[in-house]
């Protein structure tokens, strides 16, 4: 692995955040400066920053930026206004639970910190940086545990992934793509198959970009080719990320993940979900309760600027789907690989 090419989608520098503009990759590598919580909310909503753990990290910094803007010496007033910042950030994207997890953790830090407002603000910055640093370590652990739990044969695996669950989607290593990175580092990877991931093409634009940066062999396919590849014996395992996993092990991830799991089952190919515990919503008993984001119809109507359908059609654009626990071979977490029904035993380890 070439660590000099490591990608960090969220960077804290001096007194502001830099975000890699993920809407411009792979054509342009642009950084966007964020100094206000409102701008962070827009960046999350418009997917300049995206991917469940990266959204959590960005929201944590958004909470600090919002806290910084509050001018009062009154603690109750400060907390009430911080709650208003939290509300705006919570309304950006509904499915990835890391957003809500990070905001809840930041609110808890604010409420539990005693002392002057300036001290609470500094503690919030420390907390955002801790969330970011923890996620990097967590993803490295997920990658290594996942690698240990992958099939032992063949020696070099052909892994299929969907969307982008890589460095760009986390603090910097990736969940599903973290497993790929660990496999590549240990010479256990033959090749990655990446679904292009319509409608926003995170696989084609982002996963492919990350792999090319590190020299990881990658074959890009359209989403509709995945079943054929599995039928042809070209895939040893499927590894995907998640946006929210419920207590019973059902997992929401990018639209198209569910159909991959069904096809994998039909071909007896193991299907793995890689995610940190911050992606697990232990408050929800099962996947049918997960709110599924619906996005603008233009994402289906167009590819880039090109309209691909006639005027007069209706659109449906759910951004995520839910894969039932029964289709998931194992969930890779920072505490090891577990069967979906064993996930509940990790609840005490979740940090909030
Ligand atoms: O809509 P996106 O691009 O934010 O969706 C991202 C995904 O679905 C990822 O697979 C998921 O967030 C896991 S990222 C480690």
Average pLDDT, integer, range 324-340: 98
| 135 CA → ligand 1 middle, Å | 15
Is 293 in contact with 318 (CB distance < 8 Å)?
Answer: yes
- Give the class (CATH, top level) of 10-138: mainly alpha
Q: Is the CB of 202 under 6 A from ligand 1?
A: yes
| 239 CA → ligand 1 middle, Å | 13
Q: Is the CB of 244 under 6 A from ligand 1?
A: no
Q: Is the CB of 252 under 6 A from ligand 1?
A: no
Is 239 in contact with 161 (CB distance < 8 Å)?
Answer: yes
- The catalytic position among 21, 243, 281, 321 is 243
| 240 CA → ligand 1 middle, Å | 9
Sheet holding 320-323, edge to edge: 280-281, 244-246, 251-254, 320-323
Tell me the backbone φ, ψ of residue 75, rounded to 5 degrees: -60, -45
Question: Which among 4, 330, 335 has a CA at the least distance from the CA of 138?
Answer: 335
Q: What is the DSSP string of 166-230?
A: BGGGSSSSBSHHHHHHHHHHTT-EEEEEEE--TTTTHIIIIIHHHHHHHT--EEEE-GGGHHHHH
Query: Using one digit for the tens of pLDDT, what is the confidence trace for 219-246?
Result: 999 999 999 999 999 999 999 999 999 9
Query: Using one digit for the tens of pLDDT, what is the confidence trace for 18-28?
Result: 999 999 999 99
Does the annotation mark 243 as catalytic?
yes
Q: Is the CB of 253 under 6 A from ligand 1?
A: yes
* Cα–Cα dist 37/121, whole Å: 14
Query: Using one digit for the tens of pLDDT, what is the confidence trace for 98-142?
Result: 999 999 999 999 999 999 999 999 999 999 999 999 999 999 999
CATH of the structural domain 151-346, one choice from 3.20.20.210, 3.40.50.300, 3.40.50.10470, 3.90.1150.10 = 3.40.50.10470
Query: Using one digit for the tens of pLDDT, what is the confidence trace for 165-176?
Result: 999 999 999 999
* Cα–Cα dist 214/195, whole Å: 18
What local confidence, expressed as pLDDT, does residue 5 receive? 66
Average pLDDT, integer, range 264-273: 98
Q: Is the CB of 203 under 6 A from ligand 1?
A: no
Return the SS3 of 310: coil
* pTM, to two decimals: 0.97
| In the chain, where the domains are located | 10-138, 151-346
What local confidence, expressed as pLDDT, does residue 4 receive? 47
């Amino acid at each position: 692995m070439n660590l000099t090419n490591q990608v960090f989608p969220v960077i804290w520098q001096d007194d502001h955040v830099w975000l890699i503009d993920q809407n411009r990759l792979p054509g342009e590598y642009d950084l966007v400066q964020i100094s206000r919580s409102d701008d962070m909310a827009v960046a999350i909503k418009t997917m300049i920053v995206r991917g469940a753990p990266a959204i959590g990290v960005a929201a944590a910094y958004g909470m600090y930026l919002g806290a910084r803007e509050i001018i009062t010496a009154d603690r109750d007033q400060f907390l009430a206004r911080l709650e208003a910042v939290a509300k705006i950030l919570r309304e950006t994207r509904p499915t990835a639970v890391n957003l809500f997890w990070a905001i809840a953790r930041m609110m808890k830090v604010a409420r539990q910190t005693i002392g002057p407002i300036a001290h609470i603000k500094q503690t919030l910055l420390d907390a955002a940086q801790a969330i970011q640093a923890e996620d990097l370590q967590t993803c490295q652990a997920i990658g290594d545990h996942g690698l240990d739990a992958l099939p032992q044969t063949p020696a070099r695996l052909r892994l299929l992934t969907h969307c982008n669950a890589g460095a760009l989607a986390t603090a910097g290593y990736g969940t599903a793509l973290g497993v790929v990175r660990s496999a590549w580092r240990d010479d256990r990877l033959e090749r990655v198959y990446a679904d292009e991931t319509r409608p926003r093409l995170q696989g084609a634009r982002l996963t492919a970009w990350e792999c090319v940066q590190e020299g990881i062999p990658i074959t890009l396919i359209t989403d509709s080719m995945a079943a054929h590849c599995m039928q042809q014996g070209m895939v040893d395992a499927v590894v995907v990320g998640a946006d929210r996993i419920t207590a019973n092990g059902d997992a929401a991830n990018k639209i198209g993940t569910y159909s991959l799991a069904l096809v994998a089952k039909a071909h007896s190919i193991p299907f793995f979900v890689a995610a940190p515990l911050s992606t697990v919503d232990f408050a929800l008993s099962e996947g049918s309760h997960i709110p599924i984001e619906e996005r603008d119809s233009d994402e289906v109507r167009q590819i880039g600027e090109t309209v691909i359908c006639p005027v007069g059609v209706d659109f449906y654009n759910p951004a995520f789907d839910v894969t039932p626990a029964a289709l998931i071979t194992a969930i890779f977490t920072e505490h090891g690989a577990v069967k979906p029904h064993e996930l509940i035993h990790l609840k005490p380890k979740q940090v909030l």
